[in-house]
Each structure stands twice: as structure tokens, then as C-alpha cells.
Amino acid sequence: MEGQDHIEDFGDHDQLPIGYRFVPTDEELVNHYFMNKVLCNPLPASTFHEIHATKFYSMPPKSLVEFASDERQWFFFIDDDDDDDDDEKKKGIRRVGDGVGFWHSNGDEEEKPILDPNGNVLAFKLHLIYFSGTLSNPKKTHWSMDQYRLPNQFYSLHNLKEEWAVGRLRRGRDYNFGF
């Protein structure tokens, strides 16, 4: 995937019925899409895009999506890497591009566990808000993202080396095309 300058579609959009809205719960997203992706199992028809983290975090969110039929939500399989500044990542900050903006956790820097019906941890979820500008001069935008990651034990248990994340990217109702 490295060196590619485009976002790859994952799934066949033509298989989805007209008027279909993809609104999985957190548990459905993790069980039926995320885990199957990581384990290389077949996925149901989906609206996911596959992208490397370096590419994902190199541009503002509106550059990552195509606007169609008043959509407000997009899903990404993000091929995660550890190239970013760990100190900033621990603080819930992911810089975008050359200072055009950054993602920041919504004040609660703790990842929230997603539990199965028996109380076992399936995954972790972190809510991020996109700010344009710099850390010293931020401007809150109408973009947010829930980022999901599987527990480290999942990768160890299945002897997997490549780590993935899922991003549920959203734009708010007061979205202004000019920001």
C-alpha cells in the first residue's frame, strides 16, 4: 500500500440497495467487520475504504471523503503504524499534514472499552475532534472520528504482525463547505 496516492475502496458499492444506510453499532462494527478484516476473513458488502495511517493523517478529513447524497459518515480500515510521535499519541493528538490541523481526543483521553454481552473486552474506542490550525491556535471544526482498535492480546493470540484501526469519520450538521 505504501507509495500509493489514492484511497482504495474496500467492497463493492453497487451491491448495496438504493437508500441503504450503513449504521452499525460499535459491537457489530467490531465483530462483523473489524475482526474479519484483521483475520483476512470475507466481509459482508461494506462501505469501507482502506488506507495507510500515514496517508490518512496527511490530509484534512474533507479531503478523505467524497460527498454524495447528504452522507455524514464514512468508514476506514486504517493500516496503523508506529511512526508518529508517541508523546502526542498518548495525549490523544494526531497532527495532520504540515500543520493544517490535528485530531484531538475530546478531553477524555482514556479509550473506552467495547464489551461483548459477557463483559469481555472486544475493542477500544477513542473519540477524536478535528481542529484546523496549529496546537497553539486551534479552530474546532464539524469533523469528528471514533477510532477503534483491538486489544494487543488479540494480535498475539492470532499471531498477527500487522495492526489495523477502524475510523468512523463524521461531519456535523452545521458543516460549512468553506472552512
C-alpha grid cell, residue 168:
468512523
Distance from C-alpha of 179 to C-alpha of 174, rounded to nearest angstrom: 11
Give the model's pLDDT for residue 9: 47
Q: What is the dihedral of CA 25, 148, 95, 170, to 10 degrees?
A: -10
Task: Name which of 19, 175, 178, 155 is nearest 82 in CA terms.
Answer: 155
Give the model's pLDDT for residue 83: 57
Checking DSSP bridges between strand 112-115 and strand 121-133, what pairing results, if any?
A: antiparallel
Distance from C-alpha of 82 to C-alpha of 80, rounded to nearest angstrom: 7
Give the model's pLDDT for residue 12: 46
pLDDT digit string, tens, across residues 37-77? 999 999 876 679 999 999 999 999 999 987 665 678 999 99
* In contact, 39 and 158? CB cutoff 8 Å: yes
Using 70 as the pLDDT threshold, list the residues of the chain that sit under it: 1-16, 45-46, 67-70, 81-91, 107-109, 174-179
pTM over 0.85: no
Q: Is 164 exposed, middle or buried (0-12, 13-18, 19+ CB in 10 A)?
A: buried
C-alpha grid cell, residue 78:
486504517
* In contact, 74 and 47? CB cutoff 8 Å: yes
